[in-house]
Structure 1
Amino acid sequence: MQPTFVLVHGAFANSFSFAPLQAELGLLGHRSVAVDLPGHGFAATYDRAYQAPQDLAALASVPGSIKGVTLADNAAHLIGILERAKRNGPVILVSHSRGGITATAAANARPDLIDRIVYVSSWAPVDLDVAGYYAEPEMASVDTASLGLAAAANPAELGLLRVNFRTADPAALAAFKAAFLADATDEEFLVFLNTFQPDENLDAGTPADRARAATWGRVPKTYVRLRDDASLPLALQDRLIREGDALTPDNPYDVRTLEGSHLKWLLAPAPAARLLAELAPLV
């Protein structure tokens, strides 16, 4: 029976970014579902202050629909989708970037719904939570200061993360491109940037949300390394793989590698679709 690929986006993203990948999977004969986590996609907030000409003062204070959304909310939403997908046969859960935190939480809670979990340069925390990894040597090359140039509000005051992806600040745009899509043209980068939504929730997980051997550890797992990723560097990806393997030595990662930056696999998805299609017979 053909599996269903359930695709979980990363921070500030949504199901729209998976459209080219879904087209490629469909042309290979595979069924897929792209998830919008709570407060994402058509449920996101795009205030008039975000439109041109922008009102940056208002943008810093206008409420956002994602305020108060927790990792538990994300996991519950994903589990509901996994339950529905599982009625049709095997499920391969694919996460990207921050979406890995939600995928891990879902696998911790309901491993019975997942036949294989795939992390594509994705957070799969084992020894630390995400904030802890940012203080580690593997993340030292990430220029968080420059990425913060487009911050549009104080998270503590607004109750969410807000980034002005429509900024014209050349330094901020250069930082975004270097971190996420350095191997694209400027035009491709700007197109992709305009698929991002300005708001993201604050809850990136706690020690209780790390991978658990008794549940998450039962699920067959693949880690797809993105070789040229500057926002989640290869050294950190490899560390997450080592930690997962140490947690479940009898169920190690199946490790694959794709060329390209953090977002290139979504912009030019044919190699990723072929890789995912290779996993279908394993479930």
Structure 2
Amino acid sequence: MSSTSSNPSNAQRTSDAAPTFVLVHGSGSSSFMWAPIQRELALLGHRSLAVDLPGHGLDAQYPVAYQAPQDLDAWASEPSTLAGVTLQDNIDVVVDVVRRVAEHGPVVLVGASLGGTAITGVGNTIPELVDRLVYISAWSCVQRANPIEYMQEPEFEANLLAPLHAFNVGDPSRLGVGRANYRTAEPTLLADLKAAIMADVTDEQFRAFLNILQPDESIAVMTADARVHADTWGTIARTYIRLTDDRTLPVAMQDRLIAEADALTPDNPYEVHTLDTSHAGFLFRAAEVAAILDKLPF
């Protein structure tokens, strides 16, 4: 006896329907970051849905001690609502979104930065419901289990973000999160952060971006096993958008991730595009990003 499912098959979904782009943010961010990309996609006639991972977006925690005036001593011991949130929690949220969106046609699942670990997990779980995966300077782990392990490799040496320990508040091992003070007024520290994540935008644009970030990110998400599975994830068409001026996830590491995945599934390599922008600077090149997404093959 064959079983039935409420989820449509790829054949049913890909006949004539237009795709929906499901967008997954990275560390310390939320669905808000995707607004410029969604605007450009809409102008090209595309549907899109930006996901808030657990504890992000309007569910984010902004303690009084983080506000102005700040009380860094009090904030350093403030329990985090993201403590204990796991990579599987993130995957489950996106799986639920993809299942619902797939009822309306093809799904293109897009992840940026740490969001790559979530979309990888979705590809491992429900490959039949994802028509294409798109990584925008995002982690797609193959030989190493997670981003933390890859950060020990030589391809990560050009990273400028990891040395900025002065941004950190509190003890991550006790809090269960990395906690970054994006509201610091220290000019040298802010300049160093801009160089690490958005060197190619104006100071005003950089400050606008900082104001949509949230300070905490779960350590459990960053240290979980996020490796791709060749027999599930590896069957999905995939695209990588390289960012050559990225000093958070350096382009040498991006290229390593691409090469490892292509070696794992040589019959299904990445389709690769390149933009000369920084880790988060692609948000200010929204029309170019949308143009790439608009032309993806199905």
**TM-score, shorter chain, exceeding 0.5:** yes
**Which residue, 153, 166, 169 being the options, matches 1:152?**
169
In the other structure, the counterpart of 1:96 is: 112
* CA offsets 1:151-181 (integer angstroms, 9 cap, x no match): 0111111121111100112232122101110
In the other structure, the counterpart of 2:61 is: 45
In the other structure, the counterpart of 2:30 is: 14
TM-score (norm 2): 0.92
What's the offset of the Cα at 1:257?
A: 0.8
The answer on 1:185 being equivalent to 2:202 is yes
- Alpha-carbon separation, structure 1, partners of 2:251 and 2:174: 34
What's the offset of the Cα at 1:204?
A: 3.5
In the other structure, the counterpart of 2:189 is: 172
- Alpha-carbon separation, structure 2, partners of 1:75 and 1:43: 17
Structure 1 residues 185 and 24, CA gap change in structure 2 (3 angstroms): same
Amino acid at match of 1:237: Q
Greater mean deviation of Cα atoms: 202-211 or 165-174: 202-211
- Alpha-carbon separation, structure 2, partners of 1:204 and 1:67: 10
What's the offset of the Cα at 1:227?
A: 1.5
What's the offset of the Cα at 1:143?
A: 3.0
Q: Tell me if the contact between 2:85 and 2:221 (Cα under 8 Å) persists in the aligned partners.
A: no
TM alignment of 1:243-254, pairs within 5 A? 243-254=260-271
Structure 1 residues 190 and 206, CA gap change in structure 2 (3 angstroms): closer
- Alpha-carbon separation, structure 2, partners of 1:207 and 1:8: 18
The answer on 1:126 being equivalent to 2:142 is yes
* Consecutive unaligned residues in structure 2, runs of 5 or more: 1-16
TM-score (norm 1): 0.96
Greater mean deviation of Cα atoms: 116-125 or 148-157: 148-157
What's the offset of the Cα at 1:208?
A: 4.3
In the other structure, the counterpart of 1:109 is: 125
Root mean square deviation of aligned Cα: 1.2
Structure 1 residues 182 and 87, CA gap change in structure 2 (3 angstroms): same
Percent same amino acid at aligned positions? 51
Secondary structure in 2 aligned to 1:6? strand
Structure 1 residues 145 and 251, CA gap change in structure 2 (3 angstroms): closer
Structure 1 residues 54 and 22, CA gap change in structure 2 (3 angstroms): same
What's the offset of the Cα at 1:133?
A: 1.0
Greater mean deviation of Cα atoms: 187-196 or 86-95: 187-196
- Alpha-carbon separation, structure 2, partners of 1:190 and 1:141: 23
**Which residue, 204, 227, 238 being the options, matches 2:255?**
238
**Which residue, 272, 283, 293 being the options, matches 1:266?**
283
Secondary structure in 1 aligned to 2:137? strand
Amino acid at match of 1:31: R
